[in-house]
Structure 1
Amino acid sequence: MSVYLFVVPPLTGHVNPAVGVAARLAGRGHRVAWVCPDPALVRRLAGPGAEVFGCAGPVPGAGGVVRPADLRGAEALKFLWEGYLLPLAEAMAPGVRAAAEAFRPDVVVADQQAFAGALVAERLRLPWATSATTSAEFSGAYDGLPKVAEWLRLRLTELRSRVGDPSGTADPRSSPHLLLIFSTPELVGPQAPLAPHIHYVGPSLAGRPAGPGFPWERLDRGRAKVLVTLGTANADAGDRFLAECLTALRERADRVQAVIADPGGALTVPADDKDVLALPSVPQLALMERMDAVVCHAGHNTVCEALWHGVPLLVAPIRDDQPVVAGQVVDAGAGVRLRFGRVRAERLGAALDTVLTDPAHRAAAARIRTAFRAAGGARAAAARLERLAAEAR
């Protein structure tokens, strides 16, 4: 039996891929625990019996710094790091160290954006693996931007001097022991890095309860079905986009039925509407196998869940890693990209028609689906972690 400590930020899209891996390890008799500033989130996703060590750190939606909605490009990246990722790491570090000393893991599994996990493991001389829940940084996102890359390096060096081992050299976003990337080169693209410690395991899609209340009986088998979702962290930015989607979809109601995730209640749709099902939350993973296209923000999890089912995408990135992931989708031929802030119903509808009718997009999505399923997912990731623990003994 080995002991694994998962260190994750309080972000659904970063916890979900680790849930399936942790479940695999636990099912094989290993001990698993978590460290997160939001223990309730981990228990909601991993199960009420999950062993979670709490720690300090900003939790989205619970106050703190609010990101201006119009930030883009380098300014958005700077805000993400200075306003969230670096403060998160400093706040988490004492709790991560206390958890490691109490739980005594053989291996620390650190999310690529939970820098504290990697830095504390390095300081305690513990082997650590990176859980790369987005592949954006592995597709040459900073190539040709040396000033940005150097700025990031300096910020991490400063962070290490405060919470890690000042003599350490490893990038906390990318373990030199084991880097688990929840994608494959077929999506990441030709710049996907290759090395003996890098393993592309594809999506880790743990079974999720669909939850009560979704009106499955209202799905129309006679029409193409389209899911519209902007993920769990973009309700503040999506009202206009959802309204344009609604207009475009209603214009195609003779042949398309829509399911729209509308957590902020931006849309006015009758509860018994036969053409549009607009709900505060939807069982996204369970819905994917019934969808013909997905309209989304290019969040890594949503993109991978769609492509796991061979569903082509219409992507409208908002911020952070989303423009890079959107580029991966388009370069792979599995979808069409729109400008989130400027899209109108006419352009959106035309792009949706293309995604639904052009067989090339569906063929590309099917090719990625094949690669994803061959990669092994949570099973492959768990096996790699077992090997790392065995090598560390």
Structure 2
Amino acid sequence: MSRFLLVVPPLAGHVNPAAGIAAELAARGHQVAWTGTETMLRPLLGPDARVFGTGNRMFRAMGGHGLASLRSLWEGFVVPYARFTLKPLDAVVREFRPDALLVDQHTPAGALVAHRYGLPWATLAPGAMELGRPYRHLPRVEAWTAGLLAGLWERAGLPAGEFTDPRLSPHLVLATSGRALLGELPPLPQLAAVGPVLTARAADPAFPWERLAAGRRTVLVTMGTMSDTVGADFLHRTVGALARLGGDGVQAVVAASRGALPAALPDSVTVVDRAPVLELLSTGRLDAVLCHGGMNTVVESLAHGVPVLAAPIRNDQPFVAQRVVEAGAGLRVPFARASPPVIAERLRRVLDEPSHRAAAESIGRQLLSGGGALTAADRMEALVAP
């Protein structure tokens, strides 16, 4: 049996699909370990996961829109996290002695250390943006990103002549999405679009299931990890929209910190810090999802035939939201300026018009055909096969 090391950011949208792949590898008898900020990984992975901690580092909420959000992502998270984890990750590899690594696109230190030790590594691509060249018409932006990656390569002490983009493994790229949401991409022979990874997650005994009244349609509102700072105003407007829909038999679960919401909430709104998204979806409790257009949330929703109202904030979210609209599996609203009446009107349409659910079910079948965790584990095993 083989040893696999997973290197992912300590963020739910990145950890959850990786955890499903890890569980499948472990079920096949392989040894699996994680590395990263243990205090943030442990609540997502549970007590039994083997985690090599790399120390604690504070993360600030990602801000801005457009190019400002790109700068926030790279300068506020990707690059400093790579610098912070590079040295401890090297020690982890020497201690655990993995046969291969699974490295998220936003944790390039894993690719750097894999290259240093000549280990095969697979890229985990939970989003769409890093798979193509979304800024190909902005050469200065591409040059800036390339410079940041080259700086990390140099910091790791790797030969300049061997430079490989740490976001794209030459061996294997696992995208936890599908062509229906990825659109046209440059040729990438090593790409395997495996679709959503829907391995069961630990139940949340604290979730207030008794608050969900039978016979009422239910909407999940989730704007993604680290979005509270930029999302508070939108959440306030969303609560106003939900108040308008409460009389129409619509109830909502809002996954957000209580401080990001108005002091007074309609009785139809239930607030939780973290929602058991897969459990809500798999038990058929959701009729629509209002989200930021994050790929993980969207693919999980569509895989269960649940339509989406997207309010994209940054990065690949506008692209994903547009793919949802074009496929007829939902609608979108402008994150920065949609008023409560507009949000309510779009939500009502997503809930009332059967074409959205039909399209969501159709795309869901396409996404599920990728094979999910089973196919991903097959490809990881092939990576270390003699």
TM range (shorter): over 0.9
Residue 54 to residue 214, structure 1, CA distance change in 2 (3 Å): closer
**Contact 1:122/1:164, CA 8 A, preserved across alignment:** no
2:176 corresponds to: 182
Q: Which moved more, 1:353-362 or 1:342-351?
A: 353-362
Q: 1:170 aligns with which of 161, 164, 168?
A: 164
Tell me, yes or no, if structure 1 residue 213 matches structure 2 residue 206: yes
Deviation at 1:353, TM superposition (A): 1.9
Q: Distance in 2 between matches of 1:204 and 1:50?
A: 18
Alignment partner, residue 377 of structure 1: 372
Give the equivalent residue in structure 1 for 2:243.
250
Matches within 5 A, 1:135-154: 135-138=128-131, 140-154=133-147
Say whether the 8 Å CA contact 1:310–1:365 is kept in structure 2. Answer: yes
Question: Which residue in 2 is equivalent to 1:326?
Answer: 321
User: What TM-score, normalized to structure 2?
Assistant: 0.92
Is 1:94 matched with 2:93? no
Q: Please point out which of 233, 248, 271 is paired with 1:240.
A: 233
CA 1:357–1:194 in 2, change beyond 3 Å: closer, same or farther? farther
> What is the deviation of 1:72?
2.0
Contact 2:238 2:343 in 1 (8 A): yes
Paired letter, 1:366: E
Q: Which residue of 1 is the match for residue 348 of structure 2?
A: 353
1:339 aligned onto 2:338: no
Residue 216 of structure 1, CA deviation: 2.2
Tell me which residue corresponds to 1:316: 311
Q: Which residue of 2 aligns with 1:231?
A: 224
Aligned to 1:362: 357
Structure 1 residue aligned with 2:191: 198
SS of the residue aligned with 2:257?
coil
Question: 1:270 deviation in Å?
Answer: 6.4
> Partner amino acid for 2:119?
L
In the alignment, the residues of structure 1 paired with residue 210 and residue 53 of structure 2 have an alpha-carbon distance, to the nearest angstrom, of 41
Q: How much does 1:267 deviate? A: 3.1
Do 2:125 and 2:131's aligned partners in 1 also have CA atoms closer than 8 Å? no
Query: What percent identity do the matched residue pairs reach?
Result: 46
The residue aligned with 1:111 is 104
| 1:256-295 correspondence to structure 2 within 5 Å | 256-265=250-259, 266-269=261-264, 273=267, 275-288=268-281, 289-295=284-290
Distance 1:192 1:363 in 2: 26
- In structure 2, the residue matched to 1:4 is 4
SS at match of 2:34: strand
| SS of residue in 2 equivalent to 1:238 | helix
Tell me, what secondary structure is at the counterpart of 2:228? coil
Q: How far did residue 248 of structure 1 move?
A: 1.6
Q: CA separation in 2, counterparts of 1:304 and 1:55?
A: 30
Counterpart of 1:282, as a letter, is: A
Q: Is the 8 A contact 1:262 1:280 kept in 2?
A: yes
Q: Distance in 2 between matches of 1:57 and 1:329?
A: 37
Aligned-residue offset at 1:363: 2.1
> Which runs of 5 or more structure 1 residues have no equivalent in the other structure?
none
**Alpha-carbon deviation of 1:66?**
6.1
Deviation at 1:99, TM superposition (A): 1.0
Contact 1:57 1:88 in 2 (8 A): no
What is the letter of the counterpart of residue 351 of structure 2? L
Q: How far 1:139 sits from its partner (Å)?
A: 5.3
Distance 1:153 1:53 in 2: 29
For the 8 Å contact 2:105–2:125, the answer to whether it is kept is yes
How large is the Cα RMSD of the aligned pairs?
2.0
After superposition, the C-alpha distances for 1:316-342 in whole angstroms (9 at most, x for unaligned) are 122233223223322332221111121
| Distance 1:363-1:204 versus aligned 2 partners, 3 A rule | same
| CA deviation map 1:163-196 (0-9, x unaligned) | 152232321001010000000001112x134543
Aligned to 1:18: 18
Structure 1 position 16, deviation (Å): 1.3
- What is the CA-CA distance between 1:236 and the residue it aligns to? 2.0
Range moving further from structure 2, 192-201 or 172-181 = 192-201
Would the alpha carbon gap of residues 80 and 339 (structure 1) be closer, same or farther in structure 2, given more than 3 Å must change?
Answer: same
